[in-house]
Amino acid sequence: MKDIYILGIESSCDETSFSIVKNGIEEISTVISTQIDIHKKYGGVVPEIASRAHIKNITFVLEECLEQAKIKMEDITAIAITYGPGLIGSLLVGVECAKTLSFLYNKPLIPVHHIAGHIYANNLVKRLEFPLIALVISGGHTELIYMKSDYSFEKLGATLDDAVGECYDKVAKVLGIEYPGGPKIDKLASLGEKKYDLPIPLNDDTYDFSFSGLKSAVINLVHKEKLRGKEINKEDLAASFQDVVIKSLTKKTMHAVKEYNVKNLILAGGVAANSGIRKEFQKLCEENNINYTFPSIKYATDNAAMIASAGYYAYLKGRRADLTLNAVSSDELK
């Protein structure tokens, strides 16, 4: 079979990224331009500023990606684009770019759901094996997905309120830690002990999650200690918070693994970079003889390599979009 080269484009939040992936598994080149430094001073991503930064960067990132790959647009088989969900202005910049390239070079356009991309970040580590359970944990999503084959997604449960990454970032903020706080809380947690008592949210037999109660519990605890004139031990609070997050994620996920009788588990999304979460899942999978794959730390957070990998399987399934493709801020995984 002729090799298939997919150009992936990702611009759903604060990363502008292009990547070329061969046959769904072989990464040829990836360029990511992050806006973290721009948004840091506002304590989170400012949508209007994000879209402007994408417009400014997008052609440079594309050029660099093609240059690194030593591949011309003419040699690309198809273009995979994140059409949603995400920040609408940011998504639109990528979608318009993808449509323009598709029209100019007469290449098929493949619409890719952002979460399908996060799931396929694992395919760049090791070819996915089915059936599998995917735990998607990012700044905007917390979902349990069952996949019986490539590009087939069944949602088992999701957060009823905040996403786990959002919760990490809010907890970091109340502790005076800069955006994005997730990685810093992870580091602090590894230095602390579980000394603060926090409730395990939605501790039931469903596949749904809830993180807003936990977030409020941490915020209230910090304020109460302040009123009492007591100093919060950030390391211990981070360790206590992360322990509760891990308990909630592992309980629901391992329950799904058993109920659906699967032997393969993957983690996906920015929070899948968390060392405490990875360590606990690794231990549980080894104890239960479950094969596990985690995304590389570099590609746990937003990037276009994962979009190009997912795009390859969507391409094989015949998924196509035309020039009427629009960006959507929310959409079910499909």
139 sits near ligand KG4 (criterion: CB under 6 A): yes
110 phi, psi to nearest 5 deg? -115, 120
**With respect to ligand KG4, which residue has the nearer C-beta, 101 or 124?**
124
Q: Which helix (H) or strand (E) holds 101?
A: helix 88-105
Q: How many C-beta atoms surround the C-beta of residue 26 within 10 A?
A: 12
Residue selected from 51, 90, 302, 310 as contacting Zn ion according to rule CB under 5 A: 302
**With respect to ligand KG4, which residue has the nearer C-beta, 69 or 92?**
92
Enumerate helices (H) and strands (E) in the chain, giving the number of each. Answer: 10, 10
Q: Minimum CB separation from Zn ion for residue 165, in Å? A: 9
321, two tokens: 């979009």
Q: Minimum CB separation from Zn ion for residue 114, in Å? A: 6
Answer whether 94's CB lies under 8 Å from 81's CB: yes
Which of ligand KG4, Zn ion, none does 24 bind, CB closer than 5 to 8 A by kind? none
Q: Which residue is nearest to ligand KG4 (CB)?
A: 270
Subset of 165-184 contacting ligand KG4 (CB under 6 A): 165, 168-169, 180-183
212, two tokens: 């807003």
138 sits near Zn ion (criterion: CB under 5 A): yes
* CA 123 remoteness from chain centre: 14
**With respect to ligand KG4, which residue has the nearer C-beta, 29 or 34?**
34
Going by C-alpha positions, the residue among 328, 270, 330, 301 that lies closest to residue 81 is 328
Q: Minimum CB separation from Zn ion for residue 13, in Å? A: 6
> What amino acid is encoded at 48 in this protein?
E
Q: Minimum CB separation from ligand KG4 for residue 277, in Å? A: 7
Please enumerate in sequence order all residues whose Cβ is within 8 A of that of 224, keeping only pairs 6 or more positions apart, or say none.
Answer: none
Angle, helices 164-174 vs 234-259, to 10°: value is 170
Residue selected from 274, 310, 312, 315 as contacting ligand KG4 according to rule CB under 6 A: 274
> What amino acid is encoded at 132 in this protein?
L
- Side-chain-facing half-sphere of 136: CA atoms under 13 Å: 29
**With respect to ligand KG4, which residue has the nearer C-beta, 245 or 265?**
245
311 sits near ligand KG4 (criterion: CB under 6 A): no
**With respect to ligand KG4, which residue has the nearer C-beta, 131 or 276?**
276
243 sits near ligand KG4 (criterion: CB under 6 A): no
Q: Minimum CB separation from Zn ion for residue 120, in Å? A: 12
**With respect to ligand KG4, which residue has the nearer C-beta, 15 or 27?**
15
Q: How many residues line the site for ligand KG4 (CB under 6 A)?
A: 19
Q: Minimum CB separation from ligand KG4 for residue 106, in Å? A: 31
Going by C-alpha positions, the residue among 91, 102, 79, 83 that lies closest to residue 51 is 91
The 8-47 contact track toward ligand KG4, x by CB under 6 A, reads -----x----------------------------------
Classify burial at 284, counting beta carbons within 10 Å of its beta carbon; exposed 0-12, middle 13-18, buried 19 or more. Answer: middle
Answer whether 198's CB lies under 8 Å from 244's CB: yes
Residue numbers at the binding site for ligand KG4 (CB under 6 A): 13, 138-140, 165, 168-169, 180-183, 186, 269-271, 273-274, 301-302
